[in-house]
Structure 1
Amino acid sequence: MQNTQLFYSLEQKPPFFKAIFAAFVHLMAMFIAVITPSLLICKELGVNDMDTGRIIAMSLFASGIASLIQIYKIGPIGSGLLSIQGTSFNFVAPIITAGLLLKNKGLDDAQMLGTIFGTLMMCALTEILISQFLPLFKKAISPLVSGIVVLLIGLSLINIGLISVGGGYEAKSNGSFGNLKDLFLAGSVIAAIIFLNLFKNSYLKISALFLAVVVGVLIAYFLGDFSFQMNYQLPLVFLPQPFYFGIGIDWSLVLPFVLVYAVTSLETIGDISATCEVSHQKLEGREYFLRLKGGVLANGINSFVSGIFNTFPNSCFSQNNGVIALSGIASRYVGLLVALFLMLLGLFPVIANFALQIPQSILGGATLVMFGSIAATGVRILAKEKITRRSILIISLSLGIGLGVNNNPDILQFLPKWVESVFSSGIVAGGLCAIFLNLIFPKEVV
């Protein structure tokens, strides 16, 4: 990508129709990925359609605001690049685990959501602080640690994706889990993704996820599992209502969320570096460091703002770097259009209505690929590390503890309740193990 010719650089403004086309390609590359985390979390936690629709709509709206902040620097806040933001997949598994924990404590849906959003907002300070101490932070959480945590996130999410493929928890409860129709719909989405990636046309590859879901929806429509009818319970317009579900904090959720925010900061550094590369910006020196610092700072502020608007944390989307590389357009003006489109889409419930009607098995087919790619990203990060006895030992112990706790959390049932609540997440258990071992094992061990 580094040899890509730029037709329009960072500060240049393409002709209107060319800018609209580039913005539309960015939207196709990210749209499904923006709405899916909220949809999955709400479905797994049993949130009603009205509240789910609001959260989906606000995920689009908040992504637009976050992209504006990231692209158009406000003082030290933002990278100043065409860096599009969207709802982060990193938080899906921890939020579902947190929501189930809160429901077990007797909280109703509104209280549960308000507590999750409030705790996420407080923990967003993690990225704000990290942005001010980047050199120190990178020593504690090295690429080895980051790769392990990203791999754990991906492997944890794959199970959620597979449950969606079979029809979700509702299908499990009524005995229809894994029925042939759901498997066929999920399989059609996966087959469409594979088919579209066989073509040499790079725009088809970038839009494969969006187009594959469209294919799955059309098949579901002909099978009678999807309807284009409007849900008239939804209002004509979703006006943003800050703290719609109230706000609260659960201290047992702080450590899991802090760890995921820390890893997201490292991913942001990688994403912004890639955006600098495809945008022909410097990858060293003071200007580059300020972009990284501003980008991570914006990430934290954007996740805080997302909580205000009743949706989940935001992060930079790496797939949009591919659009810049293919189109040769790195103009921030295009980013402005993308941000405005996202905000507008978030105001109209017809988008949420469409998302709510998509059969879960179709989302499962798409998310299985997305979650697998998160795990693959973890492998790719680890592959950049020199494989020594030290790194093998850290990886082995961290994955063993993380996946073991994730699959059998009841192993902690006789420990103090605060220990059980903190370490019941395999991501936290494995991630903290990786951080601890990375700090205590001397680098020279081979």
Structure 2
Amino acid sequence: MSTSQKNSDLLYGLHDRPAPLKALFAAFQHILASFVGITTPALIIGGVLGLGSELPYLISMALFVSGVGTFIQAKRLGPVGSGLLCVQGTSFAFLSAVLAAGFIVKNRGGSSEDILAMIFGVCFFASFVEIFLSRIIHKLQHVITPVVTGIVITTIGLSLIKVGMTDIAGGFGNEEIGAAKYLIVGGVTLASIIAINRLRNPVLRLSGIMIGMLVGYITAYFMGMVNFHIPDVAIISVPMPFKYGFNFDLAAFIPVAIISVVTAIETTGDLTANSMVSKEPTQGPLYLKRIKGGVLGDGVNSCLAATFGSFPMSTFSQNNGVIQLTGVASRYVAFYIGGLFILLGLFPIIGAVLQTLPKPVLGGATLVMFGTVASAGIRILASAELDRRDLLIMAVSFGLGLGVVAVPEVTNSFSPLFKSIFGSSVTVAGLSAILMSLIIPQNMATEAEEQVSEFTVEDEQTHIA
């Protein structure tokens, strides 16, 4: 009996092989759902750090490594990979830390090559954090709790909103920033995404960000904001290991390493959801093997990304919705997805065309994406059973994390190294949450609350008497 017959609500189960045409159609659905998410981080990082000449290659490698990573996750090479239909893509969680690493070099007067050498060197070493954690991921739930994860993810989203809003206003370094034409285009893009998201057609909703950006692009064209000049690029983009060199800085490494820890936990949740929609076990030896392999795959793929010139990889949770929509959970579809992404990544003209995207269009889309990241963190916090201890950890972590961004002068007395480390809201919030979770015992908070509850009951009984 086939997997699809056993799981009647799936057209194709994990180990079923759809016909090539059906598999290709399902693969296109996944590509529509993830293409913008994969390419946008490179556009943001390149735009903010002034890496325009390198953008076509960076976007090509984002697509190329996503294709390779998706194949590895589904194929499972030895212990590496989950064996699920699990799409890999560039992670938004690392954006703020990567930008901070880039600014360390940029503020020293470094060139584009110097900036990228630092970013990819730091990301290369940070990938081994996740590789190591994959072996002990089942033991981390006691340290990286939902409260810690929720705090870090919320802080990441909130810290990135400034980037999206700046793009809506015209982009960094624009002398006309805040001009009405920019706000109109950004507003049209944002409104289009919201409107499409409210439609009942699930296929349109999955492509909502892409369609919204297209509407914004057309609006920008009629307002004279589109420059169709496409720079000369090579016909084929050949992946080159460490094309920009290799560098390392401890202050740049620590924020990326912290996010690697949280990403490992986040990937565990994504793979659990993937197993559920694929009608596969969510507990037991097979499940644990897939989780360890999937997190290891995340780390290995992030290592490959840093090697070939892309940013850290992670599983894409939105593709779990595609599995539910299509009823196709076959891991063989991932081979088509991986192949198509690899082909797209070999042609830098795609990156050159995306480079013509006006900043307000990109900002209208990323504002939604970053807000979604923050909302995901809030949802994690809301799902946890919060006690007074958790609320205290949240209050201090958010206060310190967002405080260093609001008042950066607070680090003026720090050494340059510590100033770079503690100038990051994600680092401060993450370290605060982890340290307080370790220092403040859970049982003491519980006992205190029980005592308060007992006193309250006694007071009520006395009052009634």
TM-score by length of 1: 0.96
Alignment of 1:116 onto 2:119? yes
User: 1:264 Cα shift?
Assistant: 0.7
Deviation at 1:276, TM superposition (A): 0.3
1:104 alignment partner, one of 81, 104, 107: 107
Aligned-partner residue type, residue 129 of structure 2: T
Instruction: Kindly state the Cα deviation for residue 225 of structure 1 after the two structures are TM-superposed.
Output: 2.2
Separation in 2, partners of 1:22, 1:418: 48
In structure 2, the partner of 1:203 is: 203
Structure 1: which amino acid aligns with 2:15?
Answer: E
Deviation at 1:129, TM superposition (A): 0.6
2:335 aligned partner: 336
CA-CA distance at 1:227 after TM superposition: 4.9
The structural deviation recorded for 1:272 is 0.4
Aligned runs of 1:27-42 on 2, under 5 Å?
A: 27-42=31-46
Q: Which residue of 2 aligns with 1:46?
A: 50
Query: Deviation per CA, 1:385-411, whole angstroms, max 9, x where unpaired?
Result: 112111110000000000001222221
Map Cα deviations across residues 78-102 of structure 1 (whole Å, 9 max, x no partner).
0000000000001111111111111
Partners of 2:189 and 2:216 within 8 A in 1: yes
Whether the 8 Å CA contact 1:279–1:330 is kept in 2: the answer is yes
CA distance in structure 2 between the partners assigned to 1:56 and 1:150 by the alignment: 24
Q: Counterpart in 1 of 2:63?
A: 60
Counterpart position of 1:251: 250
Could you say what secondary structure the match of 1:169 adopts?
coil
Match in the other structure for 1:89: 92
Residues 118-267 of structure 1: matches in 2 within 5 Å? 118-171=121-174, 174=175, 176-228=176-228, 230-231=230-231, 233-267=232-266
Gaps of 5+ in 1: none
Q: Distance in 2 between matches of 1:424 and 1:301?
A: 29
Q: 8 Å contact 1:4–1:278 — kept in the other structure?
A: no
**SS of equivalent to 2:89:** strand
Segment drifting more, 21-30 vs 97-106: 97-106
1:245-394 alignment to 2 at 5 Å?
A: 245-394=244-393
How far apart are the structure 2 equivalents of 1:358 and 1:313?
23
Partners of 2:137 and 2:265 within 8 A in 1: no
The one-letter code of the counterpart of 2:157 is G
Give the Cα–Cα distance (whole angstroms) in 2 for the partners of residues 267 and 103 of structure 1: 31
Which residue identity is paired with 2:139? L
SS in 1 for 2:173: helix
| One-letter code aligned to 1:218 | I
Show the counterpart of 1:26: 30
Work out which of the residue numbers 10, 13, 17 in structure 2 matches 1:13: 17
Q: Tell me if structure 1 keeps the 8 A contact 2:169–2:182.
A: yes
CA-based RMSD of the aligned residues comes to 1.3
Give, as a single letter, the amino acid of the residue that structure 2 aligns with 1:15.
Answer: A
Percent sequence identity is 40
Look up the SS of the partner of 2:172 in the other structure: helix
Checking the alignment, whether the CA contact within 8 Å between 1:401 and 1:430 is kept in structure 2 is yes
Give the Cα–Cα distance (whole angstroms) in 2 for the partners of residues 135 and 18 of structure 1: 36
Name which one, 1 or 2, has greater alpha-carbon Rg. 2
* Secondary structure of 1:281 counterpart: coil
What's the CA shift for 1:4?
8.3
Cα displacement (A) at 1:222: 2.6
Give the direction of change, closer, same or farther, for the CA distance of 1:112–1:227 in structure 2 (3 Å limit). Answer: closer
* Alpha-carbon distance in structure 1 between the residues aligned to 2:439 and 2:46: 40
Q: Give the Cα separation in 2 of the matches to 1:53 and 1:226.
A: 18
* AA in 2 matched with 1:296: V
- CA distance in 2 between partners of 1:87 and 1:306 (Å): 9
Change (3 A) 1:227 1:177: closer
- 1:157-207 superposed Cα distances (whole Å, 9 cap, x missing partner): 111111111111122xx1x11111111111111111111122211111111
| CA displacement 1:40-73 (0-9 Å, x = unmatched) | 0111001132x11111111111111111111110
Quick one: distance in 2 between partners of 1:229 and 1:41? 21
Q: Provide the rounded CA distance (Å) in 2 between the counterparts of 1:251 and 1:197.
A: 42
Q: Which runs of 5+ in 2 are unaligned?
A: 1-6, 450-465
Q: CA deviation at 1:329?
A: 0.3
1:278-312 CA deviation, whole Å, 9 max, x = no partner? Answer: 10000000000011000000100100000111111
Deviates most, 153-162 or 9-18: 9-18
Whichever residue aligns with residue 360 of structure 1, its letter is K
Counterpart in the other structure of 1:431 = 430
Aligned to 1:442: 441
- Secondary structure of the equivalent of 1:287? helix
Shift of 1:228: 5.0
Give runs of ≥4 in structure 1 deviating > 6 Å.
none
Deviations 1:123-166 (A, max 9, x none): 11110110111133222111110000000000001111111111
Letter aligned with residue 11 of structure 2: F
Question: What is the CA–CA distance in structure 2 between the aligned matches of 1:370 and 1:70, rounded to whole Å?
Answer: 24
2:456 is matched with which residue? none
Q: CA deviation at 1:19?
A: 1.4
Q: Is the 1:4–1:325 Cα contact (8 Å) retained in structure 2?
A: no
Deviation at 1:116, TM superposition (A): 1.2
